[in-house]
Amino acid sequence: MTAAQPFGPKGWTPEQLDNLTDQTYVITGANAGTGFQATRLLLSKGASVVMMNRNVQKSADAIKALKQEFGSNAKVTVMRMDLAQLGSVRAAASEVLKTVPHIDALLCNGAIAQIAKQEFTENGFESQLGVNHYGHFLLCGLLFQRIQESRGRIVVVASEGYKMGLKTIQFDDMNWNRNYHPNKTYCHSKLAQMMFAYELQDKIQQANKEVEVYVCHPGASNTSLIRDSASLATRVTWSLMVKMGLAQTAEKGAYPEVMCATAQHLNQRAYYGPTGRMNFGGPVGQCRLEPFALDKQVLTKLWALSEKETGFSWPI
Ligand SMILES: NC(=O)c1ccc[n+]([C@@H]2O[C@H](COP(=O)([O-])OP(=O)(O)OC[C@H]3O[C@@H](n4cnc5c(N)ncnc54)[C@H](OP(=O)(O)O)[C@@H]3O)[C@@H](O)[C@H]2O)c1
């Protein structure tokens, strides 16, 4: 075993999951891709899973498929939430607080990526930053007290893209009016999610709270992330990568987030995911974390800006 592969040469696999009866997981964007697969893995061990999804029909289809696989008593429910609308996030969080008494982990999985042309969320944020970062920033804040009472975890699903963009936060043009670029803007949003997580760890430590916060990435996984909103060139490149076998299955892509939600003895100031060639696939373990993701000045400034933009002051 090495520091990079604390779970042995094969890395973490679902064989290492314990029985999860009595555990409750809340996950965003779970009707497809790695979120759906993470839900499957958690249900397979008897957990309760609350999916927070935006699409009613896709959610109904997902629930149907899950109940077919795990039986009609499978403990899976869905709540409608659109991360692109802060009002929807508030309403969904309030429903969770009414109906879910215990949260062992909140998995921030849902995302959009590679949006070809600059778009905005209902609240006027560049769409990838708005959905991926601001939506989750608010959701985590609204559910924090419940997670804390549960001595639970927050898992942020990031991306290797965090090191393929500007490598910092573009505070003077958060909406990328000057230089919109589908990939760099996606990378910016994923770096923002990571910086949120590392700053939250600091705040939790300062406040002597017991919530654990983990950051992971799914490698390159064959999901529906690259869709019509991506440029033709991006879609063609991605489908070639898939054909060449460079993308692993969506199920394998779910391993890091399920591991971060359940495994013991993980490091928080870390970054987990596949550790094989270019971190596309391979054994799940600890990956190198680039120092710019921990730039304290940027972490603090992003937190303050996120509170202002979402109109939400964290209870910590
Ligand atoms: N696949 C990869 O190679 C890869 C690489 C690096 C990082 N990631 C990360 O992995 C995570 C999972 O992505 P995936 O690859 O599984 O993609 P996916 O198949 O497209 O799944 C994304 C999920 O997010 C949901 N979602 C999108 N916008 C939303 C919104 N406004 N409100 C609520 N839910 C929303 C989608 O719902 P709809 O079905 O309604 O659109 C879907 O359920 C993401 O955080 C992504 O950034 C993926």
Testing ligand 1's pocket by substitution, the residue of 223, 260, 280 carrying the most ligand atoms inside 8 A of its CB is 223
CA 269 to centroid of ligand 1, rounded, Å:
24
Minimal-distance CA residue to ligand 1 atom 42: 29
- Residue written as tokens 């230089």? 179
Kindly report, residue by residue over 112-127, the tens digit of the pLDDT.
999 999 999 999 999 9
Q: In this structure, is residue 99 part of a structural domain?
A: yes
pLDDT of 3 reads 63
Could you tell me if the CB of 31 is within 6 A of ligand 1?
Answer: yes
pLDDT of 1 reads 60
Could you tell me if the CB of 83 is within 6 A of ligand 1?
Answer: yes
Q: In this structure, is residue 42 part of a structural domain?
A: yes
pTM of the model: 0.98
Q: Is 209:177 a contact under the CB 8 Å cutoff?
A: no
Q: In this structure, is residue 315 part of a structural domain?
A: no
Q: Measure the CA angle with vertex 121, ends 116 and 124; round to 5°.
A: 110
Q: In this structure, is residue 180 part of a structural domain?
A: yes
Domain span at residue 237?
2-306
* Cβ atoms within 10 Å, residue 64: 10
Could you tell me if the CB of 159 is within 6 A of ligand 1?
Answer: yes
Testing ligand 1's pocket by substitution, the residue of 27, 34, 238, 260 carrying the most ligand atoms inside 8 A of its CB is 34
CATH of residue 84: 3.40.50.720
Q: In this structure, is residue 156 part of a structural domain?
A: yes
Environment class of residue 71 by beta-carbon count within 10 Å: exposed (0-12), middle (13-18) or buried (19+)? exposed
DSSP codes of every residue in 161-207: GGGSS-SS--GGGTT-TTT--HHHHHHHHHHHHHHHHHHHHHHHHHT
Q: How many distinct structural domains can be found in the chain?
A: 1
Compute CA 190 distance to the chain's CA centroid, rounded to the nearest angstrom.
9
DSSP codes of every residue in 9-65: TTB--GGG----TT-EEEEES-SSHHHHHHHHHHHHTT-EEEEEES-HHHHHHHHHH
Plot region of 214 (φ>0 → left; ψ -120 to 50 → alpha; else → beta): beta
List of the chain residues with pLDDT < 50: none
Minimal-distance CA residue to ligand 1 atom 34: 29
Q: In this structure, is residue 316 part of a structural domain?
A: no
Could you tell me if the CB of 223 is within 6 A of ligand 1?
Answer: yes
Q: In this structure, is residue 161 part of a structural domain?
A: yes
pLDDT of 228 reads 84
Tokens for 218, please give them.
Answer: 């799914």
CA distances from 181 to 127, 166, 168 (A): 12, 11, 15
**Counting atoms of ligand 1 from 1, which one is nearest the CA of 35?**
16
3 state DSSP class of 215: strand
Could you tell me if the CB of 76 is within 6 A of ligand 1?
Answer: no
Minimal-distance CA residue to ligand 1 atom 40: 55
**Counting atoms of ligand 1 from 1, which one is nearest the CA of 132?**
45
Q: In this structure, is residue 208 part of a structural domain?
A: yes
CA 297 to centroid of ligand 1, rounded, Å:
29
Pairwise CA distance, residues 304 & 313, whole Å: 9
Could you tell me if the CB of 217 is within 6 A of ligand 1?
Answer: yes
Hey, which residues are catalytic here?
A: 186
Could you tell me if the CB of 34 is within 6 A of ligand 1?
Answer: yes
